[in-house]
Structure 1
């Protein structure tokens, strides 16, 4: 039986992964309106990765890494943070944050289909029903003329789906890859590798670099939130929950994050919340529920879920 103190910590950790990760969509939307996406990622992940490894060193975790593990960290960093996050943030220029969060919630569907291709095992009836609901929800989302008629929206939607696919493949890859034993240390190396790649990408695309002191107050506060809360506090809470509660419970963030993102986008950024989007979200998240209710998929999606 868990102690009163541990129960309080668990509640705080769940609030962190629900609210903080759900709000990262809005903060990414704010920052991408002022500075370029790869430059954002470079600053965010290089800073967060450095801080994570400093904390790991302070906690006396083993920081040694083999060449194979380093290569796998680079691959995972690219799939999750360079493409999965960097391109996702770029797409937020053309898509509302709440809408993007709903599209991102389809990740368990992609993971299920990818694992079906990798393991070549038939899907359960519950999973098939979840996939059908997910496809219906996605159709209702992207078929709204008011949303898709805006300039660049179709491209943004398409690129978000490729980001979800990248995260989904990364989830399957990480579940089988040789990585540092400590998930905390592994994430630190992934972030540093991704930060370096995003730096190169920013230079290749000739992005404009603006010194932090020249940023607006909203931008500065948003970046601090993304670095310290989105990348470190929420991740630490996530890592703690994986060790103290079932992965199925941790995976419930896939249902809560889009709702938080939609409400914040509507309240903070005045994003339009249509009746069709609400209906689509209910159908889509119901499909996600049926998919993640399978223990195997729940574990994979909980281990590496898409959090911009």
Structure 2
């Protein structure tokens, strides 16, 4: 990769990896639905600025608008809420590692729905190793508050499944759509949905009052959503999907380091071994494919 590709790659891994820290900080004051609604709002505002400069062609059919709206729900609103809610009960490092299982779930969906992306022996081995890692990580929640710990981990895993299913669905249905439009239109639909349900789910609506919470929200919206999407699509076109997917290995490491340093999260053998198995399984699958 060229120098600017490496810089984009490192920036994307750092931004996405740090997002779990900022989510953990934000949900200490505001609810997960409010956080997601605000995060999407700042993400939309940032992408609107990009849209005004790039002037990409927008989808012109109701069918495509419906598809992009669905993608906004399954790739933004739903997983963002699940991860934010999950981090009420689990460490940010655990959330990041569990979320990094997305490529493993994507293999299953791709095998079922894409003719050119079938399951292989190496992928099956990677899937099984990754599953063992998940079991070890989940076992961390078998101590105190077992019900909420397991629920939080399950929420993040469901978010990963949602990301994976959406990736396969989008690959089949959004060919030829501008990357900026593909990022912006789903976000608009997702944010409208979030502002419709947030006042109902989290009533009375409580906005952030602490500067650190606003910093977290703005970081998640402008960097974790807007800039991250732009870097992701840049790498996708510059170095291809396989190399871009390697960023999955970066953000668990970033999140673990930040969680231990700034949030005093526990670094125990289950986190180290389980995390190593999950990340190692993804590395194995990609290097063997």
Tell me the TM-score normalised to structure 2 length. 0.92
**1:93 and 2:94 equivalent?**
no
Show CA shifts across 1:41-99 (max 9, x none).
Answer: 11111231133133212222223532111101111011011111112111110111000
Tell me the TM-score normalised to structure 1 length. 0.87
Show CA shifts across 1:218-277 (max 9, x none).
Answer: 111111211221112222222211121132221111111111111111111111110221
1:39-58 matches, cutoff 5 A: 39-58=34-53
Which position in structure 2 is the counterpart of 1:301? none
Q: Which 5+ residue runs of structure 2 have no aligned equivalent? A: none
Q: In the aligned structure 2, how far is the partner of 1:217 from the partner of 1:180? A: 41
Q: In the aligned structure 1, how far is the partner of 2:29 from the partner of 2:86? A: 14
**1:196 and 2:192 equivalent?**
yes
The number of equivalent residue pairs is 288
Q: Is the 1:103–1:161 contact (alpha carbons within 8 Å) kept by the matching residues of 2?
A: yes
**1:12 and 2:26 equivalent?**
no
**1:248 and 2:242 equivalent?**
yes
Q: Which 5+ residue runs of structure 1 have no aligned equivalent? A: 296-308
Deviates more, 1:145-154 or 1:249-258: 145-154
SS at match of 2:205: coil
Q: Which runs of 4+ in 1 moved over 4 A?
A: 119-122, 145-151
Q: Report the CA distance shift for 1:145/1:205 in structure 2 as closer, same or farther (over 3 A).
A: closer
Which position in structure 1 is the counterpart of 2:157? 161
Aligned-residue RMSD, C-alpha:
2.1
Q: Report the CA distance shift for 1:169/1:145 in structure 2 as closer, same or farther (over 3 A).
A: closer
Q: In the aligned structure 2, how far is the partner of 1:146 from the partner of 1:263? A: 23
Show CA shifts across 1:21-42 (max 9, x none).
Answer: 1000000111111111111111
Q: In the aligned structure 2, how far is the partner of 1:148 from the partner of 1:282? A: 24
Which position in structure 2 is the counterpart of 1:176? 172
Q: Is the 1:127–1:291 contact (alpha carbons within 8 Å) kept by the matching residues of 2?
A: yes
Q: Is the 2:33–2:202 contact (alpha carbons within 8 Å) kept by the matching residues of 1?
A: no
1:275-290 matches, cutoff 5 A: 275-290=269-284
Show CA shifts across 1:178-203 (max 9, x none).
Answer: 46611111211111100011112212
Give the Å deviation of 1:147.
5.6
Which position in structure 1 is the counterpart of 2:67? 72
**1:130 and 2:126 equivalent?**
yes
SS at match of 1:157: helix
SS at match of 1:252: helix
Q: Is the 1:52–1:185 contact (alpha carbons within 8 Å) kept by the matching residues of 2?
A: no
Q: In the aligned structure 1, how far is the partner of 2:176 from the partner of 2:51? A: 12
Q: In the aligned structure 2, how far is the partner of 1:180 from the partner of 1:36? A: 37
Q: Report the CA distance shift for 1:64/1:128 in structure 2 as closer, same or farther (over 3 A).
A: closer
Give the Å deviation of 1:280.
1.3
**1:271 and 2:265 equivalent?**
yes
SS at match of 1:34: coil
